Every structure is written in C-alpha cells, then in structure tokens.
Amino acid sequence: MIVPTETNSSLGCYSAMRFFFSGLLLSVFSCLVLSSCERDIVFTLDETDPKLVVEAFIENGEPPVVILSKSLPFFDTLRPAQLINSFVRDAQVSITHNGIVYPLKGYTSFVAGVPTGYHYTVDSLQPALFLRGVLQQRYQLIIRWQGQLYQAETTIPSLTRRIDSLFWRSAPPDNPSNKAALYVRATDAPGFGDYIRYYTRQNKGPFLPGLNSVYDDQVIDGTSYEVQVERGIIRNGPPEEGYNFFDRGDTVTLKLCNIDKQTYDFWRTVEFNYASIGNPFSSPTKVLGNISGNALGYFGGYAAQYRTIVIPR
C-alpha cells in the first residue's frame, strides 16, 4: 500500500498547475494567432458602361422580333420603372434576307393599358417589306445604336425532329391526384447535329420554355423515342413544387423547334448558369452569344411545329 506523502502531493499540485497554465497559454496564443489572421476585405467594384442586350428571333411563318435593352448593375435592386427604362427605343434595326433589307419598326407593348416593354418588328403599313421566316433560309440582323454597329446571323433549319403523338399518364403516387404527366413520342432524322428547344402552353397562357429546354441528338440520333415533357416555367424565382406536371382538365400545346448550333449554345449556357445560382460548388460558365460589337444576347432562328392535347378531368 502506497501512502502519499506531502512531497508527492506538492508535486501533483505543481504538475496540475503547470498543465493548467500551459493550456491557458496555448489557448491565448491560439486566439492571438487566429485573430491576427482575420481582416476585413472590401471589394471596390468598377463602374462600367451599360452594354446592349439583344434578344432577337425569327420563326417559320412569323415576322422577326427584336428586343433591345441596356444591361443593369449586378447588385442593383430591380424595380418595374427601372426595367421599363432599360428598353432601347432609339436604335435602327433591320433584317437582311436574300439581298433585301427589311427595316424594322419599334412598338410599345401594353398589358391592361400599362406599358410593359418595347420591341422591333416589321412595319405593318409597308406590305412590300413584310418579312416572314422560311425554313432553311439565312437571315442577318443589323443594329445601329449610339454610333455603334452590331450584327448577327442565324438560320431557320429544317424540321428534323418530328412529333408523332402526345399522351399523358397520372403523376406518381406522391403527387396530388389531379396532376398529370405529359409525354411525347417523336422521331429524330438520321445524322448528328440536330438541336431543339421546346415550349409548352397551359390553356390560354403564354408559351414558356422548360427548365431545361434545349437538347441535342447525341443519344437519340435516328431513332423514335418517348420522353416526358415538363411544363414550361417563368424564371423569376425557383421552380414551384410539382412544376413539371400539368392539371387534369388542361389543354396543353407543345411547341417543338429545331434550332441551329449557335442558338443551342446560347440557351444551353444560359440555363446552366440559371441552374447554378446559389450553388457554391458550381463552376462559372460564360454565356455564348452571337452578337458582334461586345453586345450581350443572341439572334436565333426557330423551325417550329405544334401539337395540342386535352387532358381529361
């Protein structure tokens, strides 16, 4: 049996105190080191001049539409008046096709008597210059604004993706019973290099693109296939729950468009960036436009076909 002596007790107390003060010193040292590593980082963002933003398209059987606006600061709080004022109303816009120049005229868009936008299209008062898109034809866009020249070209391709039929199925069991999934049977022509973009219209609403709306034919080239068609969305926020389904009783129209490679690349990179918002691990992607003069946006040609289905209640 070992009986502790006063000396052993003193040594124990000394060791405990030494351990305590060593830990305290280590903690203080760590705090000093960590606090010395902290510093405020302030970013000073350069003010940049607004750039011209172009959304222009031409569809078979339809006149061209060109929407011009000025880019807005990234960290600005957007307000309706600010968006309305961003539209460009003083540009000279024209489309050249087969050597003929078609000047476009500006029009203000209204909803319930309130101005909501501004676009350029053909002048309805000049029937001789009334341009409509034609399959397998090439078009050149020319914009003159504030002393600068902007140009782009596009082609309305041929219809190489054929809609065979539309049909529906009940949504999976974990969804409300009034939801239905829309499907398409389609056939792709042989030969790689076919690109599409699709839209859906629900009842009398507008045509809206899907969350992922553009596809190539790398997997389905030259085949007939069946795939679900997700409902088109408005991209003003995150998709609502069940956004990919329709309601029983809906009249649904599918708009399927063949597009060229440049139009496909533009929307593919736009949608990739949209899907990456809020993801700290996503890699940055440059949006690939086709407008010269350092402008933002695209000019695209669409070979469109339509098919409608009524989903019973």
**Is CATH 2.60.40 what the domain over 52-156 is classified as, yes or no?**
yes
> How many Å apart are CA 70 and CA 50, to the nearest integer?
6
What secondary structure, in 3-state letters, does 123-149 show? CCCCHHHCCCECCCEEEEEEEEECCEE
Q: Given its phi and psi angles, is residue 99 left (phi above 0), alpha (psi -120 to 50 degrees) or beta?
A: left
- Positions in the chain whose pLDDT score sits under 70: 1-47, 278-282
CA distances from 31 to 27, 28, 36, 237 (A): 6, 5, 8, 42
Instruction: Determine the pLDDT at residue 144.
Output: 98
pTM for this structure?
A: 0.82
DSSP structure class, residue 51: P
Overall fold of domain 161-286+303-310: Immunoglobulin-like (2.60.40)
Instruction: Determine the pLDDT at residue 47.
Output: 67
> How many Å apart are CA 194 and CA 188, to the nearest integer?
8
250 CB neighbour count, 10 Å cutoff:
22
Instruction: Determine the pLDDT at residue 274.
Output: 86
Instruction: Determine the pLDDT at residue 39.
Output: 66
* Two domains, one topology: 52-156 and 161-286+303-310: yes
Instruction: Determine the pLDDT at residue 35.
Output: 52
Name the residue ranges covered by the structural domains of the chain: 52-156, 161-286+303-310
Instruction: Determine the pLDDT at residue 229.
Output: 98
Instruction: Determine the pLDDT at residue 41.
Output: 66
Nearest to 117 by CA among 127, 126, 107, 125: 107
